[in-house]
Structure 1
Amino acid sequence: MSINPEPQPHPDTYFAGAYWGPRKESPEECARRVARFLELLAECDPFLSHWYKPTRSRRDATKHPLMPPDVSILAEMLRKGANRERGGPAIESLGFGLSFDNGGTRRDCADLRIYCGGYSEAVPNSCFLSLPSEGENAERIFTASVLTNIVRCMAVAWEPDWVAAMSRTHRDWDDPESKADLWLGWVTYLARQRGTVPPLPAPAAIEPVDDKGMLIILTPERFTVANPEHVALARRVRELLTRAGLIRH
């Protein structure tokens, strides 16, 4: 699967990642999407309601808030994050990138990495949200209801092809197993153009996201690859989605 790389994290951390193909958009258009996403994300949990510009020192991080989001500031950050040859002009087809976090500590922090506006097949667009690995915030966020809301926000703001929210342990189990064009997360979003989601076995649930696509929630309890029932369910759902043409190899 060819996607943007990210650093090797603690193996039990969770993330939500949205991915979409070539879509030419200006820094202003991308900034409006970023602003909309941050506004929606803030409604999911208080921990996700404050974000800060990158700084050289973490002591200064909270001096440069990004909330409430300002489209002009975000557009300028995106322009500075354009892909370019060293000392050369921006490579327009590769789009723009920016990253920032919510000012938390090492294991109690949320981090956003966004690549958007690109229209080259070589570099997909994405919005990747790393979530805290331990503590009260992590326990509160790692629930089906909160992760479902986060995935829904990504679907509405970015209109991606697919979104997955899951632990990295789950991802590492799922990816070698399938070699498919997406991860099947604890919570997954599939855009309408991918096809129609078939009936799925309980306890998996399906929810619409406006007229954009469908959410799939594998279990109401926390999904873990240590639970053989969860593993069997994920394999069955993947098989059904593959058969329906929504997951492609």
Structure 2
Amino acid sequence: MAEPYTLGAYWGPRASSADENAARLAGFLGDVADTGPMLSGWRPKADSRSVSAVTVEADQADQADQASLSQLLKAGRNRRDVGGEVVEELGYAEALYAAPVPDRLMTALVEVWDPDWCTWISSRLRRAQQVRPGKAQVGWLTWVHADLSDLGGPAGVQPLAAGSLLRLGDSPGAVATDDVSAPATLLGAGRNT
């Protein structure tokens, strides 16, 4: 079985409505739609693909479709166990799946969502780093608002938007836990102790 990966964009406190985030999500889906047929239609994540019957067509992610994306985001809000109130500080979350096209996805995440950092990371690398909450985690691909051009070692660094895209090797499965040590130290992620 293949190792699971997460492609995520993260930022600190930033108030925005479900409608504003739906507009960003529609822009993101539109940006990656022409990357390949596997990215032209997205489905809300479910326990099985048969349960995930509603497809969000990226090429139709216009103003009319933003209402359904807004509903999708609102439905994915984290709620308190007692009372069911929305946990505002956790923002909006919805998992979507599709086949990865790494560079295009990272570029779209950075340009559309304007995060503090993004990473394409395996569960194994996430566990190995034990990063403090709010700090960047280093994965196969990691983007940060910083100049990492002086970083040596096995990492490849290229400028992207107002930051740097760090690439550790040719494939996500080939990244050893030791490969993330130097970049994690440079980013000040540190380990929980």
TM-score range, shorter chain: 0.7 to 0.9
Report deviation, 1:33. Answer: 0.9
State how far apart, in whole Å, the 2-side matches of 1:187 and 1:152 are.
11
Cα RMSD, aligned residues only: 3.4
- The one-letter amino acid of 2:124's match is T
Counterpart amino acid of residue 108 in structure 2: C
Secondary structure at the aligned position of 1:51 is classed as strand
Q: Identity over aligned residues, as a percent?
A: 26
Q: Could you say which residue in structure 2 is the equivalent of 1:170?
A: 125
1:50 has 2:23 as partner: no
**Counterparts of 1:51 and 1:24, CA distance in 2:** 26
Is residue 65 of structure 1 aligned with residue 55 of structure 2?
Answer: yes
Q: Secondary structure at 2:92's aligned position in 1?
A: strand
Asked if residue 234 in structure 1 is aligned to residue 189 in structure 2, the reply is: no
**Contact 2:125 2:177 (8 Å CA) reproduced:** no
Distance between the aligned counterparts of 1:232 and 1:86, measured in 2? Answer: 39
Gaps of 5+ in 2: none
Q: After superposition, where does 1:88-237 map in structure 2 within 5 Å?
A: 91=86, 93-94=88-89, 96-99=91-94, 101=96, 110=97, 141=100, 146-175=101-130, 179=132, 181-191=135-145, 195-211=146-162, 213-224=163-174, 230-237=176-183
Where 2:158 maps in the other structure, the secondary structure is strand
CA contact 2:140–2:171 (8 Å) conserved in 1: no
CA contact (8 A) 2:184 2:190 kept: no
Question: What is the number of residues matched between the two proteins?
Answer: 185
Q: What is the alpha-carbon distance in structure 1 between the residues aligned to residue 102 and residue 43 of structure 2?
A: 22
5+ residue gaps, structure 1: 1-9, 102-109, 111-130, 132-136
Q: Is the 8 A contact 1:11 1:169 kept in 2?
A: no
Alpha-carbon distance between aligned partners in 2 of 1:44 and 1:152, rounded to the nearest angstrom = 12
